[in-house]
Structure 1
Amino acid sequence: GQTTAWNWQQGCMLQWLPGSQSTVLWNDREGGRFVCRILDVKTAVSRTIPWPIYSVSPDGQYGVTPDFGRIADVRPGYGYAGIRDRNASELAPESNGIWLVDLNSGQAELIISLKQISEMGEIPNQQPGIKHYFNHLLFSPNGKRFIALHRWRYPDGKRLTRLITANTDGSDIRLVVPNGYASHFIWRDPKHILSQSKSLVGNDKWGNFLFADRPNGILKEVGKGVLDPSGHLSYLPQDQNWILSDTYPKGTERNQTPHLFHVPTERRVDLGDFHLPKVYTGEWRVDTHPRVSRDGRWVCIDAVKPGEGRQLCVIDIRGLTQSLSAP
């Protein structure tokens, strides 16, 4: 496959279609719009639906998507170039937001508009001229709800973020992290979310916090002083006692460190240090973005190899997690 819808931080959203052992999907550009290609890599049978996809439901039937053109305008590195936001002049348009896409029919419905979310609850540090957008969507493990980050950019380029959840039809919107400070997140289970935030439960700095899926759902901090407070989070699929994360470049050596965190013992296990040269900064940076295989054995990261640039590296963690989880 090929694509002309790509960014430095998330590529073309290439991902497996849930429920299939051989079908993948990714975003592309065709006829003046962003689309999604769906390909069976064994049979070579392919089809195209006229909408891009961000997250896919666990049953493989639906996707949710923001406007990648709008994201490209307000947050370079996360949207797609080439197709301009048709609502670029509007701060919170009623015709832009999050769409639910039927992966079988290709039909889509706008389920939450930017106008709607901008008028919901209190916008922290409300100022004239702030521009609203959605990014970072993720279905819950049972597919009944999804997370989205509601973000707004100030005229000086700074931004704040609320973490919301909603039913797949856009109903029952909950401001789970309403204080304007939300970042990397992951569902722990259908009712709980691990997310980074700040100024919560006595910690005025950034940390990892467990939330219930309810308005202002803060429960407790997780891994304070051990689990990195800015890493890209996920749970191992077979054992949610393990959290996979990473770091941004640290110190003069600019090393990035993917690591595992064992929740019951609060023990951290580093998986390696990966140097990131100074030339890789801003939009072009290479975060390790650790991902775990569906069987929980392999961790895949992005890293830079001297003289060869951006690479994919695979780490076998099976023996490590088995030995450390043993009684």
Structure 2
Amino acid sequence: MFHVNRRGFLQLGLASAALSAAGRPALTADKPSQYPPTRVITKGPRHHWFGYYDKLQFDPSSRFVLGMEVPFEHRSPEADDIIKIGLIDLEDNDRWTELDQSIAWNWQQGCMLQWIPGEKSKILWNDRDGDRFVCRILDVETGNGRTIPHPIYSVSPDGKTAVTPDFRRIADVRPGYGYTGLKDPFTDDLAPEETGIFRVDLETGESKLIISLADIAKIGEIPKAQPGIKHYFNHLLFSPNGERFIALHRWRYPNGSRLTRLITAKPDGSDIRVVIPNGYASHFIWRDPQHILSQSKNYLGNSNWGDFLFEDKDNGILEEIGHGVLDGGGHLSYLPGNEWILNDTYPKGAERMQIPHLYHVESGKRIDIGKFHLPKEYTGEWRVDTHPRFSPNSQYVCIDSPYQNQGRQLHLIDISEVIHSS
């Protein structure tokens, strides 16, 4: 198990992989009985959450859960607002242990906090150090840490490389996804040559611009192009074998609206493919190294947003998945084995209920795993999407959601019976 040492870090003992029921709080049915057992694993008065759905929140043993803590809600972060980074032990009464902090974060994705793939005890997150954003790496077993002089977004499956957009530019064009504290030096340039997507070597700390905004603006056709559109990248994700990555190429119109293309490329920025060229791309996930599940519209006779399977090639549309059943606006993940898709919804109806759900690919059956009320004050930049994340053993799903009068907190859902009984 983890033990706090004198430096305030955690140490990982040999018993970490031996999960016993001792010290585990019961998963209680906080929600109606038709849903799997759920418990809230953080508590007020401070607020806790994790952020995006495509990051590793659980350690490889599925026992330890990462989270972030703030003392306020319902406003934009300011440059010196601190979030605390912590670890929750599911086998020790959901004990919270503070690890470190950051001043480079946002409400939707936090500070990119995540376990490093392939590592049992190393985590990383973004921070700000003087006049630059950086990445902190911490071994929670030894307490040893180091700093990479460049922020990261998505980490390769071998844990050695990262790709990242320019968070300064995102903060300028899409509040809630970039970081405050540093201004975009290219704010007046609609498609600058000096910024775009960077590859970061997590071993040496070296970074290199691999796709510029000037380059991507010249590739293929920009749907509904007009003067004054401002280009940027967001939402990057390595393929399961690390040989390619996804990025969303977005452009904002003078009136604030935006359109999006989904592209893929090799880690060196070469072999760029425009998989979704029509301007409508949103949440996505790799199914395997050759296929991508993404939300889009105006495909296969569906003018509404839906979930479509694409081959990793130019205009790679193949088929729609779960038409009318799998929500077309949620945050998608495949559980290990690809038999199940994990998803959620934005607030539904007058009650503003968010509904995480599982979709069985072979049978086409959807199973809702909870309903979570989102009060109206959680809106816009500081809304709380549930962003469901699964544990490596597929037993748990963790979500972000307000809880009673304690603000946003982390909720744990036990999906083991759902998975094994279907």
State TM-score, norm by structure 1.
0.98
SS, match of residue 264 in structure 2 = strand
Q: Describe how 1:230-309 pairs up with structure 2 within 5 A.
A: 230-237=329-336, 239-309=337-407
Which residue in 1 is equivalent to 2:68? none
Quote the Cα distance in structure 2 between the aligned partners of 1:83 and 1:159.
23
Quote the Cα distance in structure 2 between the aligned partners of 1:16 and 1:284.
24
SS, match of residue 222 in structure 2 = coil
Which residue in 1 is equivalent to 2:89? none
Do residues 157 (structure 1) and 221 (structure 2) align? no
Quote the Cα distance in structure 1 between the aligned partners of 2:264 and 2:378.
33
Higher RCO (CA < 8 A, seq sep 6+): 2
Which residue in 2 is equivalent to 1:179? 278
Question: Among residues 223, 237, 244, which one is paired with 1:145 in the alignment?
Answer: 244
Question: Among residues 171, 188, 193, which one is paired with 1:89 in the alignment?
Answer: 188
Which residue in 2 is equivalent to 1:63? 162
Deviations 1:44-70 (A, max 9, x none): 000000000100000000000100010
Question: Among residues 16, 23, 42, which one is paired with 2:122 in the alignment?
Answer: 23
SS, match of residue 199 in structure 1 = coil
The one-letter amino acid of 1:151's match is: R
Deviations 1:102-139 (A, max 9, x none): 00100001000000000000000001000000000000
SS, match of residue 141 in structure 2 = coil
Quote the Cα distance in structure 1 between the aligned partners of 2:312 and 2:393.
27
Do residues 196 (structure 1) and 306 (structure 2) align? no
Q: Specify the structure having the higher radius of gyration (Cα).
A: 2
Quote the Cα distance in structure 1 between the aligned partners of 2:185 and 2:340.
43
Do residues 317 (structure 1) and 379 (structure 2) align? no
Q: Quote how far apart the aligned CAs of 1:241 are.
A: 1.4
Q: Describe how 1:27-66 pairs up with structure 2 within 5 A.
A: 27-66=126-165
SS, match of residue 321 in structure 1 = helix
Do residues 114 (structure 1) and 198 (structure 2) align? no
Q: Quote how far apart the aligned CAs of 1:185 are.
A: 0.1
Q: Quote how far apart the aligned CAs of 1:211 are.
A: 0.1
Quote the Cα distance in structure 2 between the aligned partners of 1:296 and 1:111.
35
Quote the Cα distance in structure 2 between the aligned partners of 1:127 and 1:137.
26
Q: Quote how far apart the aligned CAs of 1:157 are.
A: 0.2
Quote the Cα distance in structure 1 between the aligned partners of 2:180 and 2:121.
29
SS, match of residue 94 in structure 1 = coil
Do residues 226 (structure 1) and 325 (structure 2) align? yes
Q: Quote how far apart the aligned CAs of 1:275 are.
A: 0.1
Quote the Cα distance in structure 2 between the aligned partners of 1:284 and 1:256.
16
Q: Quote how far apart the aligned CAs of 1:254 are.
A: 0.2
The answer for unaligned runs of 5 or more in structure 1 is none
Quote the Cα distance in structure 2 between the aligned partners of 1:292 and 1:86.
38
Do residues 212 (structure 1) and 311 (structure 2) align? yes
The structure that is strand-richer by fraction is: 1
- Following TM superposition, the consecutive aligned residue runs of length 4 or more in structure 1 with deviations greater than 2 angstroms are none
Deviations 1:145-166 (A, max 9, x none): 0000000000000000000000
SS, match of residue 204 in structure 1 = coil
Quote the Cα distance in structure 2 between the aligned partners of 1:312 and 1:4.
21
Quote the Cα distance in structure 2 between the aligned partners of 1:5 and 1:183.
24
Deviations 1:228-260 (A, max 9, x none): 0000000002x2010000000000000000000
Quote the Cα distance in structure 1 between the aligned partners of 2:105 and 2:373.
24
Q: Quote how far apart the aligned CAs of 1:293 are.
A: 1.1
SS, match of residue 205 in structure 1 = coil
Deviations 1:22-56 (A, max 9, x none): 00000000021000000001110000000001000
- Aligned-residue sequence identity (percent) comes to 69
Backbone CA RMSD of aligned residues: 0.5
Quote the Cα distance in structure 2 between the aligned partners of 1:54 and 1:318.
30
